[in-house]
Structure 1
């Protein structure tokens, strides 16, 4: 599946999920497009995930997204992270090495209301998402009693230990200046995390990078 046409995608190594009659068929880790009906589901690779360092996870050393792993077919590259001011930033570059934007994991104090992952693009509004249950400021949330509900998940939200930090199946919608540009939800009975691009405002290469980083 050409990466330019991957409007709905997931990240993983499963070519065909397991059924009652067969084991799962796997391949290289890739950005993949779900195809076929639910009973005949398969995941066509659109962009291979190639770590910059085979001994380290992509979130630690950076990675490349490539059409097929051969020379001249680079889609984009993601630098090793830079930490500062409570944030972790991954700069994303095109096939010529020019920076096209960044994927950021947000500041600790904002994670009770704002989804930890956001995208920044030069000259455009940031692409951010708030948790669907989060209305108002952190203080207002606590005053309404939501703070008690969050107690059991606060450690995972406030920690850099798990790169995703958001394994809940709740849907997420990212917006740029109020315009919905991407969603993430759990897809059918196979339980894959499906991203859907909604607007050309968002460079899909940045969306791919965010999905790969959240998948770890």
Structure 2
């Protein structure tokens, strides 16, 4: 499975995650998004949910990062928090399983989830918010370190619309495969991520959340009318 990292190196991964409960939040539409992203040059995909993953896997051959989001009552961890989430994603064809790697209260120890992913012969990705979390994930043998949650946890909460390039540079110094993710919403920012040391870049909202991207343009025009 480590050859997948070479397939993704220097390339774009598209996160096909429509707005929850929005008009595009259907497996068939997500699969069409995924096919369109691959046709446009994406080397890999990030897909949320069992049904979406199964639909996408049937229609593309590129590597897929699978995640399962849950809203738990006793933990702020949302991304693939349970053993059954890991098993379900693998059963539906995920090549890589992304896990929340933050140092927050969680229902299952992060190390146990990493062991389950790697024990099944898949690659593990750590969705981190801080360098300390990246270091801890690397010590467990996680193959991909992502900046995914920087700016989205209580410790790192930020209104800065720009991505955390400083975290990428610090993660690069650790060695291993570094994934830039989180607020990379323009081609220039994606290129800046590679320059900062990322091995690959994941882009989501700018490409697959039409409501968000439309809102950016609508807001700019509204400011122009003011």
Give 1 or 2: higher strand fraction: 1
TM-score, normalised relative to structure 2: 0.35
TM-score (norm 1): 0.36
* Greater relative CO (CA pairs within 8 A, separation 6+): 2
